[in-house]
Amino acid sequence: MEKKFVSREHRLRNATSFFISNLPDDCNRDSLWHAFEHLDNLEDAFVPFKKDKAGCKFGFLKLSNISDPECWTAKLKEVRIGGAVIGVNVARFHRDGSKVVPTTFPNHVSVFDRLHGLGKPDIKAGTPAQLVPTQFGQKNYCSIVKPSEERVKVNIDLPPLNTVSKKSLEFKSLIGEAKDIDILNNLQACLSGIMEEGLQLKYLGGLKVLLCFSNPEEAEEFRYRKVDSWEKWFSRLYVWDGIPPLFERIAWVKVLGVPVSLWDRNVIDKIGERCGRLLVKSDAEFSDGNMAEDRLAILVKTGKRISE
């Protein structure tokens, strides 16, 4: 049966990562995948370019539908790769360096599930409508679930697509998050001194860019061998594994109607911070000739118009 694209993303985002150590020197992503491809719940395999402190290769596996990680850890240790006895532990960090947060709360609903309407409580027939908390108080549950003309959403389910972009960029590209908007605007010039032949930059929205290389080895070498250079411009840099990054955009907004008595950059910044992360702050001053409006750049995670 053909799996829907959203289902694949759901499996990957809720999969459990395992840290595989003591790999042979010639082990790569393909050989790690083949060693565990007999598992029906195998979702992803990854072997970074660098080695651990002991000088050994290591990698990561993503498995879905894991209810007992300890049992699976013992099961995975039975596999031999190149005759070597491997070490297996539940990963403490993702490949992008962020810390793994264990899902120990049975009633917890992930951000991904909330975005796609998964994990909502069931409503039994005949029960009164409940009040559910929202960001600005409480609303009737039916008013949230019931479709309205203002909240019509179109979900498009797609099968797994092996597009040209995916084949050309997956595991050969790095996603970088610029530290600020000034660096983002001048990123081409910043990287000119260390950019390799054929390296391309593609803007993804927000502060994110895609650094495209010819092969995975070049991407890994750039990430680990030139960290002293790129860390001046990027807050983090990680391999793109085919999963779309979270949506972000930079919104330039006008702040209107601020009373003269409150015309102060700190006040206007606080107004902007209610909508998202400030990238370009207010420069309002008492000496300004125009106190009718000010402009801010805000990093937001929605495509909706900001009109509060």
- Whether 106 has a pLDDT exceeding 90, the answer reads no
22 burial type by CB count under 10 A (0-12 exposed, 13-18 middle, 19+ buried): middle
Q: Give the tens place of pLDDT for each residue, 173-184.
A: 999 999 999 999
- Whether 255 has a pLDDT exceeding 70, the answer reads yes
- Whether 1 has a pLDDT exceeding 60, the answer reads no
Confidence of residue 262 (pLDDT cuts 50, 70, 90): very high
Cα 110 to Cα 104, 119, 148, 296: the distances in Å are 12, 8, 25, 31
Confidence at residue 266, expressed as pLDDT on a 0 to 100 scale: 94
Report the chain's mean pLDDT, rounded to a whole number: 78
Average pLDDT over residues 38-66: 86
| Cα(78)–Cα(86) distance, integer angstroms | 8
Judge whether 1-123 and 164-239 match in fold.
Answer: yes
Report pTM. Answer: 0.50
Cα 76 to Cα 36, 58, 60, 87, 192: the distances in Å are 8, 14, 12, 9, 44
Average pLDDT over residues 205-217: 91
The top-level CATH class assigned to 1-123 is alpha beta
Architecture of the domain whose range is 164-239? 2-Layer Sandwich (3.30)
Q: Where are the domains of the chain?
A: 1-123, 164-239, 249-300
